[in-house]
């Protein structure tokens, strides 16, 4: 690539090279003593590699932190879009069919008083909770329709390169796509044997467990960074029986 004098990089380079020449020239004209000037130049050159090393490490660290923060921001925007379009509705549908939900329901009623320690403690408790979903043929038919209608949106999510850095969310999308494909391959849900319904229920439960974990992490992110979005998320909490988007 050819560099032009019109680019800011070239202009900056010329200025930075010219400044030391001017400074040392002025020093020589005012103070004389060329030997002292030469000695000072060589002393400065001796420390130059150390200066470059320190500046490079510090700048690289700062740039890495900034880039990581920007990637995290973009990633959480994608996750937020997923829950708006698919996740919250799916979580509501599945949690309503969780026979063991009363055991952990209160743990999932997130409030603005929650601290990072509370979020961490809830995650620990959920690791020992078996996510069960009781579904029949009619439920599977509804799930198939719900996911198929949103297949295009989910495919566009997978095209986002940011998701490659979030392994757990990618696992969730993979599980959702697998469930969608399994459901689409069935023709008549009413004629499915119990063994196949049990197999599909296992795929549903996998999605349900991953979905709860991602939802909890997203709620923590909103509480910390976007209180107004967190307020709506609390009022739309699929685990809170008293939740209502209407502010009272």
Q: Average pLDDT, whole number, for the chain?
A: 83
The DSSP output letter for 160 is: -
Residue 3 predicted with pLDDT over 70 = no
The Cα 58–Cα 55 span in angstroms is: 5
Instruction: Choose the weakest-confidence range: 54-68, 86-100, 222-236.
Output: 54-68
Which phi and psi angles does 56 have, rounded to 5°?
Answer: -60, -45
Q: What percent of the chain has pLDDT over 70?
A: 89
Cα–Cα distance list, 237 to 64, 98, 191, 247 (Å): 35, 15, 35, 14
Residue 176 predicted with pLDDT over 90 = yes
Please give the average per-residue pLDDT across 102-127, as a whole number: 89
How would DSSP label each residue in 50-102? HHHHHHHHHHHHHHHHHHHHHHHHHHHHHHHHHIIIIIHHHHHHHHTT-TTGG
Q: What percent of the chain has pLDDT over 90?
A: 32
The DSSP output letter for 105 is: T
Q: How would you classify residue 166: left for phi > 0, otherwise alpha for psi between -120 and 50, otherwise beta?
A: beta
The pLDDT of residue 1: 46
């Amino acid at each position: 690539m050819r560099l032009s004098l019109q680019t800011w990089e070239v202009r900056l380079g010329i200025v930075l090279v010219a400044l030391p020449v001017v400074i040392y020239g002025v020093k020589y004209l005012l103070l004389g003593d060329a030997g002292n000037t030469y000695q000072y130049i060589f002393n400065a050159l001796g420390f130059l590699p150390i200066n470059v090393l320190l500046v490079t490490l510090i700048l690289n660290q700062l740039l890495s932190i900034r880039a990581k923060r920007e990637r995290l921001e973009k990633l959480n925007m994608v996750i937020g879009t997923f829950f708006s379009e698919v996740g919250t509705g799916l979580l509501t549908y599945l949690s309503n069919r969780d026979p063991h939900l009363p055991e952990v329901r209160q743990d999932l009623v997130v409030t603005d008083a929650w601290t990072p320690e509370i979020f961490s403690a809830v995650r620990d408790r959920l690791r020992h909770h078996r996510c069960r979903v009781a579904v029949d043929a009619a439920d599977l038919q509804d799930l198939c329709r719900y996911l198929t209608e949103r297949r295009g949106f989910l495919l566009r999510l997978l095209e986002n390169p940011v998701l490659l850095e979030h392994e757990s969310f990618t696992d969730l999308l993979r599980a959702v796509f697998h469930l969608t494909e399994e459901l689409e391959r069935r023709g008549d849900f009413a004629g499915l044997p119990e063994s196949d319904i049990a197999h599909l229920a296992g795929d549903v439960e996998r999605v349900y467990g991953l979905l709860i974990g991602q939802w909890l992490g997203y709620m923590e992110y909103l509480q910390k960074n976007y209180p107004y979005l967190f307020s709506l998320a609390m009022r739309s909490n699929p685990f809170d029986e008293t939740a209502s988007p209407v502010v009272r």
